[in-house]
Structure 1
Amino acid sequence: MAFETPYEALIGLRYTAAKKPGGGNRFISFISLISMLGLGLGVAALIVVLSVMNGFQKELRTRILGVASHVQVMGDEGELIGWPGIVERVAGHPRVLAGAPYVQQQAMLSLAGQVKGVVVRGILPGEEEKVADFARHMKAGRLEDLQPGEFGIILGSELAYALRAYPGDKVTLIAPQGMVTPAAVLPRMKQFTVVGIFEVGMFEYDSGLGLVRLEDAQKLYQMGEAVSGVRLKLDDLFAAPQVVRELAGSLPPGLRLTDWTKSHANFFRAVQIEKNMMFLILLLIVAVAAFNIVSTLVMTVQDKRADIAILRTLGASPGSVMAIFVIQGTLIGAIGLLLGVAGGVALALNVETVVPFIERVFGIQFLAKDVYYISDLPSDLHWSDVWIIGATSFALTVLATLYPSWRASRTNPAEALRYE
């Protein structure tokens, strides 16, 4: 038995396109086209914006944790003694990949009249490469150029630019801890040689972080054999809170543990809240576009009153009449939805190409390096977001067709044909 298309579907498809040149149907078809494009534009905007917000989350996580750490083990008094034993103990945890000691203090850097505040981090290059990604972000020099006793320093690119410092230059580091003399308390100063420059692409670190050798930092800040703490790298960064809880019970008292979800929580919480709010705001735009279909169907019902009356007199049930206009409205929404998904996915996958092109053509910059943490517009398309957007938009479209379709099914044939 051959499959036959229900007549409701055939009539609904026919009503979607205008057939009378210059007639009322042509105007209704134009309104249908506007409804399709409006829905498609709203869906595309929603996909692109959510992809960009996902990109920001990914970039923040990558750049922050490329310089920071998944977990930090610190002493209650700000100093940790016997760090090799701590690293050995935490290395027994199955999720801990590596550990590295560090010294972190505040200082001022001076060169040729330029003075900048800086966070000084003392590291062991061989160990640091196991927990951070500095090596692949080096613009000049290498981490291995930090040799004990030579007092070398590696600067962030923006910090080096502000100081007009280049590899080989001598910068004066002024430590906040003073030296007590009979005359006064004098700041402790030491000349460091710039041996490298890094750029992680995050302004906070590029403009305010300097790397020195661990032994040099201990000597400068009079810490002896103590360090500020130990940085840990995990096999799964999202397991950091659980690892902290598990390590807290196995380490000796007097230690404080923290993870990236606490030390950088504001960044990720702000992005997540903004992503949720942007989803709701843009979903309202999609809803407005979807409910434009209501006006399209209302005008179609008014224009097709005589046709509806004839269908009713030929035996069509109210449910069949309602199905005709539900199919018409759903078709309009489905076409707009497909256009929006296709356009949104295409743009989301090429944002990193399209945005620089627009910046070059119009001579503008969307994200200035000195204002935003991330100066490039990233994009990370999640197909789960596309499915959610598509399903939600389609549901709104179907919902928008119900009332005008119900009104069409309530048309009285005698009233509709009275003046025909």
Structure 2
Amino acid sequence: MENSPRPLPFSAFEWLLSGRYLRARRKEGFISVIAGFSFLGIMLGVATLIIVMAVMNGFRKELVDKIVGLNGHLLVQPLESPLTDWEDVAERISRLPDVRLAAPVVDGPALASSAQNATGVLVRGIRSGDLNKLAAISSNIQQGSLDGFDRGRGVAIGRRLAEQLSVRAGDNITLVAPDGTMRAKGAAARIKPYTVAAVFSIDMSEYDSVMVFLPLTEAQTYFNRADDVSAIEVFLMGSPDKVDSFRRPVADAAARPVFLVDWRRRTSAFFAALQVERNVMFLILTLIVLVAALNIVSGLIMLVKDKGSDIAILRTIGASRGAIMRVFLIAGAAIGVLGTLAGLLVGMLVCLNIETIRQFLSWITNTELFPPKLYFLSKLPAEVDAGETAAVVAMALTLSFLATLYPSWRAARLDPVDVLRYG
């Protein structure tokens, strides 16, 4: 009589047996509860990781868009001599491929005052055409207009600054340079009244509360600059993270000694803190998945102990140790795989509807969640990164698989004789 062939690994019999073990009967209900909590833990852990990473990605993207939308990707500063040739330098840089704008600017601190209040500001002189090309400003005018900006003695100020000074478009403010008394021309040339031509808002308090835009020629006169500018702001097309590839072309196009500072260096402390927070959140939320994986371990160990006699019978009728191990591997991995897939689905659904969810929660709680004044966000963003999402799924699946190894190995090592004798 020929021996019947051994079933192949992960055969239908092993899958059937794993499914029966997962569908615990009434007397094994506690094991089923542990498996259910493991499933929920992995689902919630994966979903939370995906949502948090997406929100932080969206938060970073919106902040970067606002920062480079106002300050530019690269700052070209003069070396050895002032930027008196700024018109030619800006023209050469603006002709480079993927350069959207090269805007000469004059920057300087000042004190802005009105009849009601006074506060420190950053004055930026810029040409009217360049200011209109900055969508962060020109598309967010709340009061007044930028028409004729170069021809008048008007200024554009942020909304929060207007609120601090209690002024509106059409009112007057006075700018006082901090070192006006130290100049030979006297303080009178450094104290000037200006009409508020426009009030803008970009929903970022650092800019809305300090920025004052002057026409470039007026700023040169106000800061006693002969015919030079402070720097040239270069705005690029494409991803801000690819700014390094533009450093050499911009330096060559300048055709004079310059020092280049990119947006990352100008905001290094802020984005370094954001990256640290992001990494810490990832590690903390990974613990949720780890705890759920440990629940799989405890649940499988209890299942192995409960099914000891079944394992012994299977071993005596010819089931190999590998088959027993695979049965429990399938049972544990099924919890992890299903939990991960459910978490992926929940996370993606929340990310796609996160602003609607925020508005609903704000309505339910009657509070403003993530107010723009505190979080610089006009809406709650979520930017799903395919690579990060795949890493989260792979991490959850790996932890789930590793959690099944020890209980499965322990099931395979059970001695059927001892189990039947003493079990």
TM-score by length of 2: 0.91
**What 5-or-longer segments of structure 1 have no aligned partner?**
none
Shift of 1:375: 6.2
The structure 1 residue matched to 2:199, chosen from 197, 200, 208, is 197
Aligned ranges for residues 262-277 of structure 1 at < 5 Å?
262-277=265-280
How many residue pairs are counted as aligned between the two chains?
413
Partner residue in 2 for 1:28:
31
Write the distance in 2 (CA, Å) between the matches of 1:40 and 1:78: 61
- For 1:208, the aligned partner's letter is V
Alignment of 1:304 with 2:310, yes or no, is: no
Offset from partner CA, 1:357-408 (integer Å, 9 cap, x none): 2233224444454544446432111222222111110111011001001101
- For 2:304, the aligned partner's letter is V
**What 5-or-longer segments of structure 2 have no aligned partner?**
1-7
The structure 2 residue matched to 1:54, chosen from 51, 54, 57, is 57
Q: Kindly indicate whether the alpha-carbon contact (under 8 Å) linking 1:54 and 1:380 is maintained by their aligned counterparts in 2.
A: yes
Offset from partner CA, 1:57-80 (integer Å, 9 cap, x none): 111111111111112222247952
Partner residue in 2 for 1:102:
105
- For 1:157, the aligned partner's letter is R
Shift of 1:193: 0.7
Shift of 1:288: 1.6
Offset from partner CA, 1:154-186 (integer Å, 9 cap, x none): 11111111111111111111112314699x967
Moved more, 288-297 or 341-350: 341-350
Q: Kindly indicate whether the alpha-carbon contact (under 8 Å) linking 1:126 and 1:144 is maintained by their aligned counterparts in 2.
A: no
Write the distance in 1 (CA, Å) between the matches of 2:182 and 2:50: 62
Shift of 1:261: 2.2
Partner residue in 1 for 2:297:
294
Alignment of 1:361 with 2:364, yes or no, is: yes
The structure 2 residue matched to 1:11, chosen from 9, 12, 17, is 17
Q: Kindly indicate whether the alpha-carbon contact (under 8 Å) linking 2:220 and 2:227 is maintained by their aligned counterparts in 1.
A: yes
Q: Kindly indicate whether the alpha-carbon contact (under 8 Å) linking 1:69 and 1:232 is maintained by their aligned counterparts in 2.
A: yes
The 1:181/1:297 distance shift into structure 2, 3 A limit, reads closer
Q: Kindly indicate whether the alpha-carbon contact (under 8 Å) linking 1:51 and 1:380 is maintained by their aligned counterparts in 2.
A: yes
Partner residue in 1 for 2:78:
75
Partner residue in 1 for 2:3:
none
The structure 1 residue matched to 2:174, chosen from 167, 172, 175, is 172
The 1:76/1:142 distance shift into structure 2, 3 A limit, reads farther
Partner residue in 2 for 1:216:
218
Shift of 1:319: 0.6
Partner residue in 2 for 1:259:
262
SS in 1 for 2:179: strand
Shift of 1:86: 0.7
- For 2:219, the aligned partner's letter is A
SS in 1 for 2:288: helix
Write the distance in 2 (CA, Å) between the matches of 1:213 and 1:144: 12
Q: Kindly indicate whether the alpha-carbon contact (under 8 Å) linking 2:144 and 2:170 is maintained by their aligned counterparts in 1.
A: no
SS in 2 for 1:143: coil
Q: Kindly indicate whether the alpha-carbon contact (under 8 Å) linking 1:241 and 1:261 is maintained by their aligned counterparts in 2.
A: no
Q: Kindly indicate whether the alpha-carbon contact (under 8 Å) linking 2:105 and 2:216 is maintained by their aligned counterparts in 1.
A: yes
Alignment of 1:206 with 2:208, yes or no, is: yes
Aligned ranges for residues 282-361 of structure 1 at < 5 Å?
282-361=285-364
Q: Kindly indicate whether the alpha-carbon contact (under 8 Å) linking 2:74 and 2:235 is maintained by their aligned counterparts in 1.
A: yes
Alignment of 1:377 with 2:380, yes or no, is: yes
Write the distance in 2 (CA, Å) between the matches of 1:132 and 1:81: 28
The structure 2 residue matched to 1:405, chosen from 396, 404, 408, is 408
Shift of 1:251: 3.2
Write the distance in 1 (CA, Å) between the matches of 2:38 and 2:160: 49
Moved more, 190-199 or 374-383: 374-383
Write the distance in 2 (CA, Å) between the matches of 1:355 and 1:131: 30
Alignment of 1:156 with 2:162, yes or no, is: no
Partner residue in 1 for 2:231:
229
Q: Kindly indicate whether the alpha-carbon contact (under 8 Å) linking 1:131 and 1:232 is maintained by their aligned counterparts in 2.
A: no
Partner residue in 1 for 2:4:
none
Q: Kindly indicate whether the alpha-carbon contact (under 8 Å) linking 2:46 and 2:396 is maintained by their aligned counterparts in 1.
A: yes
Shift of 1:356: 2.9
Moved more, 312-321 or 219-228: 219-228
Q: Kindly indicate whether the alpha-carbon contact (under 8 Å) linking 1:103 and 1:122 is maintained by their aligned counterparts in 2.
A: yes
Q: Kindly indicate whether the alpha-carbon contact (under 8 Å) linking 2:143 and 2:168 is maintained by their aligned counterparts in 1.
A: no
Shift of 1:334: 1.5
Partner residue in 2 for 1:246:
249
The 1:78/1:90 distance shift into structure 2, 3 A limit, reads same
Write the distance in 2 (CA, Å) between the matches of 1:265 and 1:129: 28
Write the distance in 2 (CA, Å) between the matches of 1:161 and 1:113: 10
- For 2:299, the aligned partner's letter is T
Write the distance in 2 (CA, Å) between the matches of 1:285 and 1:78: 58
- For 1:279, the aligned partner's letter is F
- For 1:125, the aligned partner's letter is S
Write the distance in 1 (CA, Å) between the matches of 2:133 and 2:384: 30
Moved more, 410-419 or 124-133: 124-133
Q: Kindly indicate whether the alpha-carbon contact (under 8 Å) linking 2:70 and 2:137 is maintained by their aligned counterparts in 1.
A: yes
- For 1:169, the aligned partner's letter is D
Write the distance in 1 (CA, Å) between the matches of 2:230 and 2:327: 73
Alignment of 1:44 with 2:38, yes or no, is: no
Q: Kindly indicate whether the alpha-carbon contact (under 8 Å) linking 2:127 and 2:150 is maintained by their aligned counterparts in 1.
A: no
Task: Provide the alpha-carbon RMSD of the alignment.
Answer: 2.4
The 1:293/1:358 distance shift into structure 2, 3 A limit, reads same
Write the distance in 2 (CA, Å) between the matches of 1:324 and 1:355: 44
- For 1:333, the aligned partner's letter is G
SS in 1 for 2:180: strand
